[in-house]
Amino acid sequence: MNKKRNVVLYWILAIVITLGTAVYQRMTGPTYPKRITFEIGNQEYNLKLPRSYGGAGDCPVELAIPDEGVSGAIVYRRYPSSEDWKSIPMKREGELLTTTLPHQPPAGKIAYYIILKDADGKEIKIPDEEEPVVIRYKGAVPDYVLGPHIFFMFFAMLLSNLTGLLALAGFSRQVLYGRITLVLLIIGGMILGPLVQKYAFGELWTGVPFGWDLTDNKTLIAFVFWMVAVLGNWKKERPWLTVLAAVMLMLVYMIPHSLYGSELDHESGKVIQGMIMSTGVFY
């Protein structure tokens, strides 16, 4: 009975670790909306600006600012580049200030910031011109590919954490769970992952040996460690290999998604790897 109770506790702990890691990755990733806090017209606002856009058409940008005395414009240029900044006035639609950023090819990026002006003519920039928001465009990924990819990767992470805890506690069940973890990782990361990459940026694999895409490479590292753990536990239990693989998957999972990912070289027209630094929150 105590053993069964311990397994339940390990499941709960694994779920907490997995959810916590997922939240951390979402808050620090450079493609998730950038949160901004600013004050204009004696009113404080907490809004989000897009840093990723998939599909055809221009990217909509909307700011919920009900004060009709506030007007705005969006200033942008292709990234990375030294092109002149271009400005587009924002339109008011009820409580929203709206505009769009021009469509770019997959992996194309735009740097932008917004200038707001209140009824008294006071002007602010969000964020600062020296640290603009960078948005990356991508092709539309079908739900029937993206959904299963997210599902299998999430449960691979969950089962990896559980298996690592069971191995640490000396449960023989870690051998079976380790094999299931590897299968989930192969389906979610090594099969569906490249399909997502193909739809989004036109390439199946941009990691080693073809490139340095961080998302592909960290998936490869996790796969190798789990492959070694499963093979190492095949005839004789070696729980330390399982613990090592579980820790490695958690570490690579915590690396912000797409931090060093596909980027369109505007001069050559080729997709390369580029860095996007993210501070997570702008104040």
Residues 18 and 101 in one domain: no
Residues 118 and 171 in one domain: no
Question: pLDDT-based confidence at 113, cuts 50/70/90?
Answer: very high
Residues 87 and 203 in one domain: no
How far is the C-alpha of 6 from the C-alpha of 47, rounded, in Å?
A: 43
Domain closes at, from 97, 119, 138: 138
Number of domains in the chain: 2
Residues 160 and 248 in one domain: yes
Residues 12 and 49 in one domain: no
Residues 238 and 113 in one domain: no
Residues 268 and 210 in one domain: yes
On average, the pLDDT of the chain sits at 87
Q: Which amino acid is at 79?
A: Y
How far is the C-alpha of 132 from the C-alpha of 118, rounded, in Å?
A: 21
List pLDDT tens digits, range 46-67: 999 999 998 788 999 999 999 9
Residues 129 and 147 in one domain: no
How far is the C-alpha of 86 from the C-alpha of 227, rounded, in Å?
A: 50
- Sign for the pseudo-dihedral over CA of 96, 56, 135, 146: positive
Question: pLDDT-based confidence at 278, cuts 50/70/90?
Answer: very low
Q: Is the pTM above the cut of 0.85?
A: no
Report, as an integer, the average pLDDT of 87-100: 95
List pLDDT tens digits, range 162-203: 999 999 999 999 999 999 999 999 999 999 999 998 998 888
Evaluate whether 137 touches 54 at the Cβ level (below 8 Å).
Answer: yes
Residues 21 and 158 in one domain: yes
Residue 151, pLDDT > 90, answer yes
**What is the pLDDT, as a whole number, of residue 13?**
95
List pLDDT tens digits, range 234-254: 999 999 999 999 999 998 887
Residues 165 and 209 in one domain: yes
Residues 262 and 199 in one domain: yes
Question: pLDDT-based confidence at 282, cuts 50/70/90?
Answer: very low
Cis status of the peptide bond prior to 50, with omega within 30 of 0: no
Domain residues for 203?
Answer: 2-29+141-282
Residues 146 and 130 in one domain: no
**What is the pLDDT, as a whole number, of residue 260?**
53
Cis status of the peptide bond prior to 80, with omega within 30 of 0: yes
